[in-house]
Amino acid sequence: MKNTFDKHFVVEGEEKIPSIKLDPQRDTVKVESRQPKAQDSKPVQQPSLKVTPPPVIEYKNEITFVDSLAHDQEIKPKKLEEYVLAFKQGAEKTARSTLEMCRVVYEANQSLGDLEFRDFCRSIGFKDYSSTIRKFIAIGKVYPRFIEYANQLPASWTNIYLITQIPAAEFENIIKGKIRVSDLTGSRLQKMLERTKDISQIRNALRYDKKNSGYVYAKLLFTKVPDDTDWRAAEKAVNELCARLPIKFLVDQNVSNILNQRKDKRYEQTKKHYKNIEMRPDLWDLGAEANAAYKTVERVNAAENKTTVTV
């Protein structure tokens, strides 16, 4: 109906109808104005706009080396017993090579001088005073006994060293088959090691802190969430200990910074609102010894709201 009307009639004074054309080469929109023609019998088609979706972001990291490799397809399947035997043989070879390596370090320590042994340790990538060299020497010392039972020893040299530190009688039980190495759990091995620790000197059980020049012997813990009052009470108590004993009280730097910031804020609030209370050093609690030495007695005159200090 509308097309027939447009074909035969033209409305006088009708405004021009804008039409939109899309240039496919530049993806730009052109607007043209034209007067509808009477002979134009085709309906005006609405332009189709192409909307490009946003790119999809893939949140992936680089692939690891092991994942970049494909599984070996040339593996010849074996039976369960064969895999177990192959693993034990590999572990025995590793334990044997570890014993032989440590024996070399032990012999070098016994044969070379101090300077030559230091150069030897540097050549193999260690320091002569390191704990690793000390453990290598211990393993190398028991090489004549351990090499006969390499098939029963673990592959790791750290675990072999722990076995060297157990009581001699317990090692004989292992050799005789009364105790299997696989039965040496962490808790059982720890109990054996406690029987051989040197208790003649306490410092052997303490870690030495080189930075602060002292032996670490304890931890100070709060059993509840502390506030400023709890911290101040703990600090005063520990300072009392530091005054009587040769100990240091070290606070974590992060905690110290927070406490200092909170202290500064309390100080600013004190100057504004508590001038007659907090800003009176003669009323401060200086500790049991200081209070006893100065014998401070507070006498408050309620009428005049004044405080008199008598010494």
Q: Which residues pair with 148 in a beta bridge?
A: none
Q: What is residue 238's three-state secondary structure? A: helix
Spatial CB neighbours of 157, under 8 Å, sequence gap ≥ 6: 98, 101, 102, 135, 136, 139
Q: What is the pLDDT of residue 302?
A: 41
3 state SS for 259-291: HHHHHHHHHHHHHHHCCCCCCCHHHCCCCHHHH
Residue ranges per domain, the chain? 2-34, 81-205, 207-310
Number of residues written out for the chain: 311
Q: What is the pLDDT of residue 36?
A: 53
DSSP state of 226: -
12: tokens are 């006088």
Q: What is the dihedral of CA 125, 128, 133, 135, to 10 degrees?
A: -160
Confidence grade of residue 310 (pLDDT, cut at 50, 70, 90): very low
DSSP state of 50: P
Degrees, nearest 5: CA angle 181-92-130: 80
pLDDT digits (tens, 9 = 90+) for 91-105: 888 889 999 999 999
Residue 34 has pLDDT above 90, yes or no: no
Confidence grade of residue 308 (pLDDT, cut at 50, 70, 90): very low
* Mean of per-residue pLDDT scores for the chain: 76
Residue 203 has pLDDT above 90, yes or no: no
Residue 222 has pLDDT above 50, yes or no: yes
pLDDT digits (tens, 9 = 90+) for 248-306: 888 888 888 888 888 888 777 777 666 565 666 666 666 676 667 665 544 334 434 55
pLDDT digits (tens, 9 = 90+) for 99-144: 999 999 999 999 999 999 999 999 999 998 898 999 999 999 999 8
Short-list 102, 162, 164, 156, CA closest to 133? 102
Q: Which residues pair with 21 in a beta bridge?
A: 30
Residue 165 has pLDDT above 80, yes or no: yes
Residue 52 has pLDDT above 70, yes or no: no
User: Beta 28-34 vs 207-209: how paired, if at all?
Assistant: unpaired
114: tokens are 């101090």
The helix or strand, by DSSP H or E, that contains position 164, with its residue range, turns out to be helix 157-164
